[in-house]
Amino acid sequence: MSPLAPPPELLAARVRDPYPCFAWLRRHAPAHADRRPGRPTVWQISRYEDVRALLTDARLSKDPGRVPGYVPGPTGLNRHLVHADPPDHTRLRTLVNTAFVPRRIAQLEPFIGEIAHRLLDRVEQRPHVDVIADFAAPLTFRMICAILGVPPELDTAATRDTLMATISPAADVDTDRGERDLHALLDTLIVTKRTGGEHNGTDLLGALVRASDDSGAMSEEELRSTAYLLLLVGHDTTMNLIGNGTLALLRNPAQAALLTAPQPAPGLVATAVEELLRFDSPVRDATFRCAAQPLSVQGQSIAEGDIVSLLIGSANRDGARFPEADRLDLTRTPNDHLAFGYGPHFCIGAALARLEGAVALPLLLRRLGPVQLAKPADELPWRPARVMRGLAALPVVRT
């Protein structure tokens, strides 16, 4: 690492609680170079204004092939819009964009409520509930499966586990087998669309398959990679919003009471979702970027080919942008957080995540009733994913 580096104890706690480390970086090294033998240099950018500006900076590329010594990841599923620059990014985003426009997403609100109520019916009499496994994970996966047109027989916990193992595999998992399972799953989905059936042609994945087959708008590799991307981020980001948000509310009961009031203040649910997105962002670090040409940030020279990590979680706790940034305030306005990114790579599923959060979080709190954490907050398990920030489990007990 560079001579000025965060204290080891802050780095060690970064998965569980990254915010003290982020605060140190913003204060002491807002453009921090992580240099390790045999690895590319990674620049960690932590202040809000820098992160926001760089999210739209054309000098940064999404193509990992620009990094010297780059070796593709084990899944071989990187030919999607998150790892593409224009014009490929524009082409791929246009193909999927129509399924996620706010008007179409708004029509899903009754369905989200129906699924949420059904999941909570199952745990209504239980003294112990895992908010992730019992609610957030199945709800968000069901919704993205509905949008993509995943057949019901593949909307299972086993499918979710296969998908999530690509970003946070367990220590005892056979990664080669996991890769084969994932490819088999995606191929099954695509074949289902090509061979007909009640789901064919009435959903996003069916439309993408037709675009691939009829006009060559997507290659087979792009089609498989895009299906993977949409399943993953459509599920993981919103699951993290519900999990992280519930934890924040349980640790701030006065704020939670605002949401569970018989008649919440007008507009409160919307501002609450934005604040929960800011306060403990479901995406901790922006997705991959590297320098396509030399640039300077905070007086530091970033070389072509260096990786540039934009710390969204840090930017959203920057006191220079957000007064009392470490305080949860569900009424906070304005709230120009960067939880969904900014610019051309702004999260395509933002409207869906916002709607699911707005429906799920107040309903969850009301239906569960008085609950408390089943273990101390600092003992809760967090998934060690590189980009996302999400709980592996959130056990609560009724009081």
Tell me, what's the pLDDT at 334? Answer: 96
Residue 340 within any structural domain of the chain? yes
CA distance 393 to 399: 19
Residue 150 within any structural domain of the chain? yes
Q: In what order do the strands lie in the sheet with 60-61?
A: 31-34, 42-45, 307-310, 290-291, 60-61
Listed range (62-71, 237-246, 280-289) with the worst mean pLDDT: 62-71
End-to-end CA separation in angstroms for the chain: 47
Residue 208 within any structural domain of the chain? yes
Tell me, what's the pLDDT at 171? Answer: 56
> Which among 42, 1, 124 is positioned nearest to 310, based on CA atoms?
42
Convert the pLDDT of each residue in 190-233 to its tens digit.
Answer: 988 888 754 445 688 888 898 888 888 899 899 999 999 999 88
Tell me, what's the pLDDT at 159? Answer: 85
CA distance 128 to 395: 7
Residue 3 within any structural domain of the chain? no
Residue 329 within any structural domain of the chain? yes
Quote the domain boundaries for residue 97: 8-398
Phi, psi for 291 (deg, rounded to 5):
-80, 120
Residue 1 within any structural domain of the chain? no
Q: How many domains does the chain have?
A: 1
Tell me, what's the pLDDT at 366? Answer: 94
Convert the pLDDT of each residue in 123-144 to its tens digit.
Answer: 998 999 999 999 999 999 999 9
What CATH number did the domain enclosing 334 receive? 1.10.630.10
Convert the pLDDT of each residue in 133-177 to its tens digit.
Answer: 999 999 999 999 999 888 888 888 888 888 888 776 665 556 667
Residue 13 within any structural domain of the chain? yes
Convert the pLDDT of each residue in 237-246 to its tens digit.
Answer: 999 999 999 9
Convert the pLDDT of each residue in 323-381 to its tens digit.
Answer: 999 999 999 999 999 999 999 999 999 999 999 999 999 999 999 999 999 999 999 99
Residue 62 within any structural domain of the chain? yes
